[in-house]
A and B are shown apart, each in its own frame.
Chain A
Amino acid sequence: MSTIILETSGLSKAFSGFTAVDRVDLRIETGTIHALIGPNGAGKTTCFNLLTKFLQPSAGRILFQGEDITRLKPADVARRGMVRSFQISAVFGQLSTLENVRIALQRDRGGSFDFWRSSDSLTRYDDRARALLTDVGLETFADTPAAELSYGRKRALEIATTLALDPPLLLLDEPTAGMAEPDVARIVTLIRRLRTGRTILMVEHNLSVVSGLSDRITVLTRGRVLAEGPYETVSKDPAVITAYLGTDHA
């Protein structure tokens, strides 16, 4: 018996006349890796922005762990345990790699407005931060400013920072976008390790990544759900093949 961690009903977003997301019903089961795919402009990233409340939906409801989060602010959604990544790598360039991870760890220390205290008081997070960096293979870069890391390592750092919050639901926006093949393999291994104890919803273009990782797939086109199911079923769906994979795949 599976439980639903995230559910949307009739989720819609219209931008001055253009409907980017049109009555989308999603049900993400706890503990699964769920992929959201579709051609460019299908509304995948808009969907992510709606779920994490970076955009306010025009209509519809979002339930996270059984609670209505449709009206929450994005920071509060994150605090409830749904944390997203971004398409462009999102690190804090001026901070060191270690400080990047620490920023996430120190969030719940309470009183983070203590401008009178020395930042030496943050060193107690260093061990956990280092452990997380080791997890993603960045332990030797702890003192490097994040801006100087290579693209693949920035993505790895971003994942380490996200993991520091230990979120039950992780939203990954194209985790392998713009990556070379060896980096892709590393991220895929990482995601596979991440999944224990949590649910992952991801937008991904790389179909080999999707087929290898995900338990369920939702195909979006023009803001609507076209098909849903396991990769084998969805990839054979004629509607999906024409709309997304192109006729020459048939």
Chain B
Amino acid sequence: MLGFSRTQSVALAVLVLVVIAAPFLLYPIVVMQVMCYAIFAMGTNLLMGSVGLLSLGQAAYFGLGGYVAGYLVQSVGLTPELGIIAGGAAGALLGTGFGWLAIRRQDIYFAMVTLALAQIVYFAAVQATGFTGGENGIQGIARGDLFGHLPLKSDHAMYVVVAVIFLAGVVFVHRIVNSPFGQVVKAVRDNEPRMISLGYRTDAYKGMIFVLAALFAGVAGATKAMVMGIVTLSDVGATTSGLVVLMVLLGGIGTIFGPIVGAAIVVAMQYYLAPFGAWVIVIQGAIFMVCVLVFRRGIIGEVAFRLRTPL
């Protein structure tokens, strides 16, 4: 189905069922948050998994997407779907510029450049109080009416919108990875000098993946802004960039479903471990260390390895 392998189709069916059942069993806001972070993590995984680039600045696109959507919906009065589209576009646009700069460097230097560029965005967000609300963030964003007609005030209505965006994101990521473009990108990760020697301008492919990852981040940030009704500096900060990398590694780098599981675990930890206060970060760190030591492929990565099939 849609080019998914049999095992992947089963996993997708399970995922759809979980998405349908979840709001009846869990607090819908938390599940929506999971889905937003999952979109974010799937995009980040495109960079980390398919071309092997570690970005430490993905929050820049996530936060910008949130700010743009929040601002346009609250201050300009756009409908929520336009806000999300604009948020995604803003993320992709920023990703085009930053990607063009960052892909000129490799490995740790690439990671450092992405981090530095993201910090610029962070401090710009601190200063640009007219747009971002500075320390206060953009608060109390009313979700408005989808297409100007369907009110999203109720969490269940909003849930349907987020679920559709999320599932579309899963299908889209799978398609990117399994497209002719995805094949080229995979080969670039395997052996970049060889791809150059075959006449491929590899930087352009890496740049394209960077833009796609930023697009996902922008859409995710914008959708989360609509769900929560608030965008703050933490959305654009380095901790969020680190968190999304953690999600990808925990779930399984280079897998379709891993980032989703990773996002669910990290968000659940933040939510259910909230009573521990600042200890959440310590616990997350410990879990991350156990993950790296015990199952390096991540949860879904490990399952896929055992089943000898891509997931």
Of all chain A residues, which has the CB nearest B172?
A116
Instruction: Encode A143-172 as 1/0 by CB contact (under 8 A) with B.
Output: 000000000000000000110010000000
**Which residues of chain B from 292 to 308 have any CB-CB distance to chain A below 8 Å in the complex?**
none
Contact of A112 with B199 at beta-carbon distance under 8 Å, contacts A90-B194, A118-B175 already known? no
Contact of A115 with B175 at beta-carbon distance under 8 Å, contacts A90-B194, A121-B180 already known? yes
Min Cβ gap A202→B in Å is 15
Of the candidates A73, A99, A119, which one forms a contact with B179 in the assembled complex, judged by CB atoms under 8 Å apart?
Answer: A119
**Neighbouring B residues of A84 by C-beta, 8 Å:** 197
A93 at the interface (CB under 8 A from B): yes
Of all chain B residues, which has the CB nearest A162?
B198
Of all chain A residues, which has the CB nearest B181?
A115
Of the candidates B182, B187, B196, B197, which one forms a contact with A92 in the assembled complex, judged by CB atoms under 8 Å apart?
Answer: B187
Instruction: Encode A55-86 as 1/0 by CB contact (under 8 A) with B.
Output: 00000000000000000011110110001111
A199 at the interface (CB under 8 A from B): no
Of the candidates B176, B181, B196, which one forms a contact with A74 in the assembled complex, judged by CB atoms under 8 Å apart?
Answer: B196
**Neighbouring A residues of B187 by C-beta, 8 Å:** 92, 95, 100, 103
**Neighbouring A residues of B204 by C-beta, 8 Å:** 113
Q: Evaluate contact between B179 and A78: CB separation under 8 angstroms.
A: no
Interface size, chain A (Cβ < 8 Å): 40
**Which residues of chain A from 98 to 117 have any CB-CB distance to chain B below 8 Å in the complex?**
99-100, 102-104, 106-107, 109, 112-117
Complex Cα gap A115–B180 (Å) = 7
Q: Evaluate contact between A75 and B200: CB separation under 8 angstroms.
A: yes
Q: Evaluate contact between B183 and A95: CB separation under 8 angstroms.
A: yes
Q: Evaluate contact between B175 and A95: CB separation under 8 angstroms.
A: no
Complex Cα gap A116–B189 (Å) = 20
A52 at the interface (CB under 8 A from B): yes
Of the candidates A79, A94, A113, which one forms a contact with B199 in the assembled complex, judged by CB atoms under 8 Å apart?
Answer: A79
Q: Evaluate contact between A114 and B179: CB separation under 8 angstroms.
A: yes
Min Cβ gap B170→A in Å is 15
Complex Cα gap A92–B189 (Å) = 9
**Which residues of chain B from 200 to 217 have any CB-CB distance to chain A below 8 Å in the complex?**
200-202, 204-205, 208, 212
Q: Evaluate contact between B198 and A95: CB separation under 8 angstroms.
A: no
Instruction: Encode B150-190 as 1/0 by CB contact (under 8 A) with A.
Output: 00000000000000000000000001101111111011011
